[in-house]
Amino acid sequence: MNAIILTAIWGVVMMFGGVFFKKTSTPKYWAIAGVILILAANILEFFGTPLFNIDTRGMLKFDQYTLHFNTIVFSCTLLYFLLNGRDVEKVGPHVSEYFSLMFFVLCGAAISVSYNTLLLLFLGIEIMSIPLYILTGSTKQNLKGNEAALKYFLMGAFSTGILLMGIALIYGGNSLGSFYIDAINIGTGSMPVLIGAGIVLLIVGMSFKVSAAPFHFWAPDVYDGAPPVISSFMMTIVKIAAFVAFVKLFQTSFGSIHGEWKMLVIIITAATLFIGNITAVFQQSVKRMLAYSSISHAGFMMFALFALNSTAWEGLILYAAGYSIATIGLFAIIVKMSDYSLDGFRGLGKTHPALGITATIFLLSLTGIPLTVGFTGKFYVLLAAVKTGQHLWLVIFAVICAAIGAVYYFRVIQSIYFKEPVEGVNVGLNYSTAFKYLLFITAALIILFGIAPGLIIDWIYY
């Protein structure tokens, strides 16, 4: 509860603050202060000290899972603000508003992981999405950005419609006539047609939100067209929150009839892994490549939905955290660069050693090389999937896709270290020493969680 209320309040504060802030650099500090405050409040609640006691009639539920995941989301946001604060200022003149919208997104994210009724799931997803439509199009002069925003809005509205239809069918179909996801818990008896149709629509709608194939078509264009700072935010924090909402819904409400809809998830997982990885190989722009690779990472996170056991939950949390840290770090570097293509990365290891080495660690983590959290995340989701004892081919298929992933991630590493720099590229990169140290800390976190994943996982069972 702390997080939801405080993010909403802070969003308003930032919005009105825009009137009073004289310098463009001020909002950044307010945003960082705000997210630290929210993080602290959330941790307080985690240890049993909620600041607000509001009776939501069980529509929101704050358990250890939710609060732990909130902590991860806000920590990632803090990291994101620290690394990218200065670049958000460059997006456009309304700096304060951008931050304000991000706080509203966080509010939506907090709702969509702690919902207990389908209505609040819908609200959470919408609160999360609408500010993003604006943020995507925040560079008004950029045609590509406008296209992305419009596309995102249309696709998003469309998928929300499908989601809502699914919710309506589930509501009408269950014998209790209830929106509460724990009450809906469908038994293993005969399944009404309405429920079946509702489940399919929910899967489709949520797959849109997490950009799983074949509902991923908006993702590359939007991630590529939006300003890179915003893409980084959307690909990490927003996506992992949507994933947790997705898994939570299907675990509580439809977990006992897992067998009925599992095949659909398997097909989506396989398609997501395949399409994401294969298409990413052919990209010349690193930014667009990361957009496709984020689809393939969605495929790995879909394994949580396929396995649906306690290891799967651990795996999802770990994977989401590792993927977010690495992507935020990598995007922070990309934002600084003038050329997003593979050529732009040429010789980075020589011209900017600090950026080169940290980018390499982020890429190694995304590939899933041991000693990085990317590996432990992959290991856990694969462990969860093998534990089910069924459909081992899917796991084999996934590791083959992971090896394809190595192809495009390592192409960037090759550019960084083994190719000579292009004349005139990356000469005037402008970043502070603090930024450099922050990157090193981010990279150190990746290795730390890679060696000791318990630092993240253990809190689930606190």
- Find residue 341's DSSP bridge partners: 285
Instruction: Looking at residues 294 to 333 of the shown chain, list those that interact with another protein (rule: CB under 8 A).
Output: none
- The reply to whether 386 sits near another protein by the rule CB under 8 A is yes
Of the candidate residues 278, 396, 434, 444, the single one contacting another protein (CB under 8 A): 396
Distance CA 4, CA 301 (A): 25
Of the candidate spans 5-13, 52-60, 195-203, 379-387, the one that interacts with another protein by CB under 8 A turns out to be 379-387
* Residue 106 contacts residue 112 (beta carbons within 8 Å): no
Check residue 411 and give left, alpha or beta (phi > 0: left; psi -120 to 50: alpha): alpha
Of the candidate spans 109-117, 122-130, 285-293, 411-419, the one that interacts with another protein by CB under 8 A turns out to be 411-419
- The reply to whether 383 sits near another protein by the rule CB under 8 A is yes
Find all residues with CB under 8 Å of 99, minimum gap 6, and list them: 14, 27, 28, 30, 31, 88
Of the candidate spans 210-218, 236-244, 322-330, 401-409, the one that interacts with another protein by CB under 8 A turns out to be 401-409
* Residue 6 contacts residue 38 (beta carbons within 8 Å): yes
- Report in angstroms how near the CB of residue 113 gets to another protein at its nearest: 23
DSSP-derived 3-state class of residue 409: helix
Instruction: Looking at residues 339 to 378 of the shown chain, list those that interact with another protein (rule: CB under 8 A).
Output: 364, 369-371, 375
Burial code of 278-296, b = ≥16 C-beta within 10 A, e = fewer? ebbeebebbbbbbbbbbbb
- The reply to whether 278 sits near another protein by the rule CB under 8 A is no
- Report in angstroms how near the CB of residue 353 gets to another protein at its nearest: 10
Transcribe 266-300 into DSSP letters. Answer: HHHHHHHHHHHHHHHHT-SBHHHHHHHHHHHHHHH
- The reply to whether 382 sits near another protein by the rule CB under 8 A is yes
- Report in angstroms how near the CB of residue 447 gets to another protein at its nearest: 12
Measured from the CB atom, the residue of 230 and 456 that comes closer to another protein is 456
Transcribe 308-357 into DSSP letters. Answer: -SHHHHHHHHHHHHHHHHHHHHHHHHHHH-S--BGGGGTTHHHH-HHHHH
- The reply to whether 407 sits near another protein by the rule CB under 8 A is yes
How many CB atoms are located within 10 Å of the residue 196 CB?
16
User: What is the end-to-end Cα distance of the chain in Å, rounded?
Assistant: 19
Measured from the CB atom, the residue of 124 and 405 that comes closer to another protein is 405
Tell me which amino acid residue 29 is. Y
- The reply to whether 399 sits near another protein by the rule CB under 8 A is yes
- The reply to whether 403 sits near another protein by the rule CB under 8 A is yes
Of the candidate spans 54-62, 198-206, 262-270, 391-399, the one that interacts with another protein by CB under 8 A turns out to be 391-399
- Report in angstroms how near the CB of residue 401 gets to another protein at its nearest: 10
- Selection from 302, 351, 293, 301 nearest residue 327 by Cα: 293
Measured from the CB atom, the residue of 1 and 457 that comes closer to another protein is 457
How many CB atoms are located within 10 Å of the residue 147 CB?
15
- The reply to whether 266 sits near another protein by the rule CB under 8 A is no
Of the candidate spans 102-110, 132-140, 175-183, 397-405, the one that interacts with another protein by CB under 8 A turns out to be 397-405
- Report in angstroms how near the CB of residue 414 gets to another protein at its nearest: 6
CA distances (Å), origin 289, targets 219, 286, 340: 11, 5, 10
- The reply to whether 406 sits near another protein by the rule CB under 8 A is yes
- Report in angstroms how near the CB of residue 355 gets to another protein at its nearest: 16
CA distances (Å), origin 451, targets 216, 321, 376: 33, 14, 8
Transcribe 135-192 into DSSP letters. Answer: HHT--TT-HHHHHHHHHHHHHHHHHHHHHHHHHHHHHHHSTT---BHHHH---SSPPP
- Report in angstroms how near the CB of residue 262 gets to another protein at its nearest: 19
Check residue 327 and give left, alpha or beta (phi > 0: left; psi -120 to 50: alpha): alpha
Measured from the CB atom, the residue of 226 and 381 that comes closer to another protein is 381
Q: What is the token pair recorded at 428? A: 């005037």
Measured from the CB atom, the residue of 282 and 418 that comes closer to another protein is 418
- The reply to whether 392 sits near another protein by the rule CB under 8 A is yes
- The reply to whether 453 sits near another protein by the rule CB under 8 A is yes
- Report in angstroms how near the CB of residue 242 gets to another protein at its nearest: 27
- Report in angstroms how near the CB of residue 399 gets to another protein at its nearest: 4
- Report in angstroms how near the CB of residue 303 gets to another protein at its nearest: 12
Q: Is 454 exposed, middle or buried (0-12, 13-18, 19+ CB in 10 A)?
A: exposed
Measured from the CB atom, the residue of 199 and 457 that comes closer to another protein is 457
Q: Which residues bind another protein (CB under 8 A)?
A: 364, 369-371, 375, 379, 382-383, 386-387, 392, 395-396, 399-400, 402-403, 406-407, 410, 414, 417-418, 452-454, 457-458
